[in-house]
Amino acid sequence: MALPNYYSHFPQRKSVWNGQEGSADVVVIGSGIGGLCCGGLLARYGEDVVVLESHDLPGGAAHSFEIKGYKFDSGPSLFSGFNSRGPQANPLAQVLDALGESLPCVNYDSWMVYLPEGEFLSRIGPTEFYKDLDKYASKNAVHEWKKLLDAILPLSAAAMALPPLSIRADMGVLSTSAARYAPSLFKSFLQMGPQGALAATKLLRPFSEIVDSLELKDPFIRNWVDLLAFLLAGVKSNGILSAEMVYMFAEWYKPGCSLEYPVHGSGALVDALVRGMEKFGGRLSLGSHVEKIIVENDRATGVKLRNGQFIRAKKAVVSNASMWDTLKLLPKEVVPKSYVDRVNSTLQCESFMHLHLGFDAEGLREDLGIHHIVVNDWDRGVDADQNVVLISVPSVLSPDLAPPGKHVLHAYTPGTEPFELWEGLDRRSSEYKKLKAERSEVMWRAVERALGPGFSRDKCDVKLVGTPLTHKSCIVVEILLFLALESQLLLLVVPLSLTHLFRFLNTRSFLMLLEFECIAGR
């Protein structure tokens, strides 16, 4: 099967260099969300910046594409906090605000959940979950859930006292975080009292320690907490920082909370970031594959493209690639052994399976929601392969994403597909096609369960199955990385030992956060 013709929001864009050597104050490698935010803010504050993207579409894992009139999201689909303002606002909302860009969204407050115990519509808010606990959990479950909320919601003041955008990985954190926000931290501790302030010290510990300290026994609650942690960061509650979970609980279980989906799809977020960057003179160069970072006298001075062109960086090079891919771009002799050892010792997570469908909406229920979560077996764990499937039908909120009377759908297994099953396979071989059909069946069954008897595979105008090999070819990045807990300390930018070279953390935590929330770059 031939690869589809992917729709570009930027059909007129080519490399901005026209075969000539170019230069910029700052060269950013990669136009994912992190790269575009970096480029936009640098341009906003007067730097001459260019963002180099290997593909013909910006957005990285957040890009959108169109086939036969169906506009598909490739990654992010569940968002909240775009309308928030102030120091504790969604960092993406802060970036868009700084760039003078708005992002119209549709608000909603629920998603469908399909569990071994049954299926139900899960609503966010302080009390909505009680009815589900009454039906599917033990008689003590409501009491235990209240106990959990009572323990962690007061901690949200401390979790939110340091805005995510103020956190950095060098000594500059003393000025951007510690000094500037010390009053708000101190105030939050006073409000919580001695016991609460002591509990706040657990924010940088695994969330499971808080759950265990409360002696929560109900299996449904324990499983649900693991599921929330996995959706937020790609790990269970024993592998996620309490600060992340407390932040999420504060967003999802407070009065008046809501979820958001961008009008015109997640590609609208990418469009807004590109518009904002270019408004202040920043440049986006598509089809510009960086082959190596040029280092002279221990200073990153620019990049060399695959076509041989050299782009000089007058002030800095910023890599939005993973640590493995960034390492490949650097000359071996200039990279400190300590950094190489750190990269080589960092564990990697699994990959993804994707299913993109465009289909006839006739016969489907009218109250079909946008999001559906399927868990097949609690005993296997939410991080087991072929066990959890996430489904998004964004055309129910933004009908322009599909032709009239049609729907667009994206289903995927969230970072649980073993890459070794696929490594080395020829994508044209019968072995690959057979494995592709076998491993995608779990997504098809989940879609059939979520959409009901009104759906059939024969009603699909578009059927696209993506494997780990597809994922790797479409996103120039190594298998998503899984950082050990001690390395997840809310760091957004890591300065390398080389001067004038910085790398954004392209971590599983950050990407999974974009996949499911976009409430904070934590």
Is the pLDDT at 23 greater than 60? The verdict is yes
Q: Is 105 among the domain residues?
A: no
* Statement to judge: residues 157 and 140 lie in one domain: yes
CA distance 308 to 431: 37
The predicted structure's pLDDT at residue 209: 93
The predicted structure's pLDDT at residue 487: 30
Handedness of CA 139, 141, 144, 150 (dihedral sign): negative
Provide the phi-psi class of 357: left if phi over 0, else alpha when psi is between -120 and 50, else beta: beta
Is the pLDDT at 159 greater than 70? The verdict is no
CA distance 296 to 416: 41
Q: What is the pLDDT of residues 58-74, one digit of tens each?
A: 998 888 999 999 999 98
What are 345's two structure tokens?
């010792």
Q: What is the mean pLDDT of the segment spanning 132-159?
A: 88
Number of neighbouring beta carbons within 10 Å of residue 165: 20
Q: How confident is the model at residue 247 (pLDDT cuts 50, 70, 90)?
A: confident
Q: Is 176 among the domain residues?
A: yes
Is the pLDDT at 40 greater than 90? The verdict is yes
CA distance 164 to 522: 6
Q: What is the mean pLDDT of the segment spanning 369-395?
A: 97
Q: Is 465 among the domain residues?
A: yes
How, if at all, do strands 110-115 and 371-375 pair? Answer: parallel
SS3 at position 455: coil
Q: Considering 257, 279, 295, which residue would you say is the last residue of a domain?
A: 257
By CB neighbour count within 10 A (0-12 exposed, 13-18 middle, 19+ buried), where does 181 fall?
Answer: middle
Q: Considering 224, 257, 290, which residue would you say is the last residue of a domain?
A: 257
Write the DSSP symbol of residue 71. E
Q: What is the pLDDT of residues 399-458, one digit of tens each?
A: 999 999 999 999 999 889 999 999 999 999 999 999 999 999 999 999 999 999 999 999
**CATH classification of the domain holding 277:** 3.50.50.60
Domain count, the chain: 3
* Statement to judge: residues 459 and 338 lie in one domain: no
First vs last Cα of the chain: how many Å apart?
Answer: 40
Bigger pLDDT: 186 vs 82: 82
Residue-range definition of the domain harbouring residue 30: 22-66+266-346+482-516
Q: Is 246 among the domain residues?
A: yes
Cβ–Cβ under 8 Å, residues 40 and 279: no
Least confident of 79-88, 143-152, 236-245, 440-449: 79-88
Residue 308: CA atoms inside 13 Å, Cβ hemisphere, count?
2
Is the pLDDT at 513 greater than 50? The verdict is no
Q: Considering 235, 257, 279, which residue would you say is the last residue of a domain?
A: 257
Q: Is 222 among the domain residues?
A: yes
* Statement to judge: residues 248 and 286 lie in one domain: no
* Statement to judge: residues 135 and 248 lie in one domain: yes
What does pTM read for this prediction?
0.84
Residue of 78, 230, 248, 259 lying closest to 149 (CA atoms): 248
Most confident of 16-30, 367-381, 468-482: 367-381
Number of neighbouring beta carbons within 10 Å of residue 194: 9
* Statement to judge: residues 162 and 225 lie in one domain: yes
* Statement to judge: residues 306 and 407 lie in one domain: no
* Statement to judge: residues 215 and 137 lie in one domain: yes
Q: How confident is the model at residue 507 (pLDDT cuts 50, 70, 90)?
A: very low
The predicted structure's pLDDT at residue 476: 46
Residue 192: CA atoms inside 13 Å, Cβ hemisphere, count?
25
CA distance 261 to 398: 8
SS3 at position 163: coil
What are 108's two structure tokens?
């909603």
Cβ–Cβ under 8 Å, residues 339 and 426: no
Q: Which amino acid is at 87?
A: P
Number of neighbouring beta carbons within 10 Å of residue 440: 19
The predicted structure's pLDDT at residue 374: 98
* Statement to judge: residues 424 and 492 lie in one domain: no
Least confident of 134-143, 151-160, 404-413: 151-160
Contacts of 146 (CB under 8 A, 6+ apart): none
Q: What is the pLDDT of residues 176-209, one digit of tens each?
A: 555 555 555 555 555 555 555 545 567 778 999 9
Q: How confident is the model at residue 11 (pLDDT cuts 50, 70, 90)?
A: very low
CA distance 76 to 107: 16
Q: Is 421 among the domain residues?
A: yes
* Statement to judge: residues 364 and 455 lie in one domain: yes
Scan for tokens 């076998």, then name that residue: 438
* Statement to judge: residues 129 and 242 lie in one domain: yes
Q: How confident is the model at residue 257 (pLDDT cuts 50, 70, 90)?
A: confident
Q: What is the pLDDT of residues 200-226, one digit of tens each?
A: 567 778 999 999 999 999 999 999 999
* Statement to judge: residues 235 and 213 lie in one domain: yes
Q: Is 104 among the domain residues?
A: no
The predicted structure's pLDDT at residue 474: 60
Write the DSSP symbol of residue 365. -
The predicted structure's pLDDT at residue 222: 96
Q: How confident is the model at residue 9 (pLDDT cuts 50, 70, 90)?
A: very low
Scan for tokens 């040029």, then name that residue: 294
* Statement to judge: residues 141 and 229 lie in one domain: yes
Mean pLDDT of the chain: 82
The predicted structure's pLDDT at residue 86: 65
CA distance 106 to 328: 41
Q: Is 113 among the domain residues?
A: no
CA 264 centroid distance within chain: 19
Q: How confident is the model at residue 50 (pLDDT cuts 50, 70, 90)?
A: very high
The predicted structure's pLDDT at residue 146: 94
The predicted structure's pLDDT at residue 201: 66
